[in-house]
Amino acid sequence: MSDMTWEEINKHRFGFITDNPKEKMLKLSFTSNDNTSNIPIEWDWRKYGIVTPVRFQDTCGSCWSFASASVLESHRMKAQIAEGKFDPKKQLEISEQNLIDCFRDFVPNGCDGGNTLWAFKYVENVKGLNNVKDYPYVNKQENCKYNKEKRIDLDIKDVIRTESGDDEELVAAIYTHGPVTVGIHATPIFHKYKNGIYSDVECDVRELNHALVAVGYHPDYFIVKNSWGKQWGEDGYMRVSRSKVNTCGISQQCYYPVLTNNVNTDKIKDKLIKY
């Protein structure tokens, strides 16, 4: 992407709109209140087969839909582990395009940006989404083609926002519940990331513009999944520094859904298998 201008990158590769507490549908101020006494020092959900491969948003500003779909996939598969129904060879893939096309009451054009909280609240209302095979990504917004008969059931009973700017809250949420959507302020050096632990003195926690998924953590960094394909970063992932609190806003605006069949990780640890 080094041949793209910053204006092109900002328009086509991002798309995270910060939430607005004045919106009638956003009247919530939940925090996880998780017990942090048993949290492992490091964790990576990729090792347990519930993180789907990195996908590519192309030139649509749909990072929010990719992050939301990825987290929904992981939380549904985690629930399947608890029920003894999980098959890592048949990973669940939820359609980002379904969100982009059918979300118009909240986002008039899904390629112009959105918010993961809004996406989770939308799914809470409609009770599910189609999969990628039935509703493939086309890199633009089209008319809604949602097929209720082929719906992947996603019964969300709550949407949680971790304590703003609190890295330890984010750590607890990742371990206890599963991958979490995060916002970050991506500056012109973000897209050039290749490897290593990322930090940027120029970023501003008040200017979040890109949505990603935190799938794990280490004492030195958070592991985040991007939606720019596997050729970017570390096979599509980035390690965001924990050397200071809330690096580039990583823990500023973090959301995850609570499914009706959600089970805390400690209760299913004996069922987790590394793949």
Tens of pLDDT, residue by residue over 224-240, are 999 999 999 999 999 99
Catalytic pick from 60, 191, 210, 262? 210
Predicted local distance difference test score (pLDDT) of residue 3: 62
Q: Is pLDDT at 35 greater than 80 in this prediction?
A: no
Q: Confirm whether 226 is a catalytic residue.
A: yes
CATH 3.40.50.300 fits 6-259, yes or no: no
- Residue range 177-213, pLDDT digits in tens: 999 999 999 998 998 999 999 999 999 999 999 999 9
User: Which whole-number Å values give the CA distances from 189 to 1, 154, 203, in the listed order?
Assistant: 11, 37, 10
- 8 A C-beta contact, residue 140 and residue 15: no
Predicted local distance difference test score (pLDDT) of residue 191: 87
Q: Per DSSP, what are the bridge partners of residue 224?
A: 214, 238
Q: Confirm whether 185 is a catalytic residue.
A: no
First to last CA, the chain: 32
- Residue range 97-134, pLDDT digits in tens: 999 999 887 777 889 999 999 999 999 999 999 999 99
Catalytic pick from 115, 209, 226, 262? 226
30 vs 25: CA distance, rounded Å: 14
Domain residue ranges of the chain, discontinuous segments joined by +: 6-259
Q: Is pLDDT at 30 greater than 80 in this prediction?
A: no
Question: Under 8 Å CB-to-CB from 267, ≥6 apart: which residues?
Answer: 82
Roughly what angle, to the nearest 10 degrees, separates helices 116-126 and 63-83?
50
Q: Confirm whether 63 is a catalytic residue.
A: yes
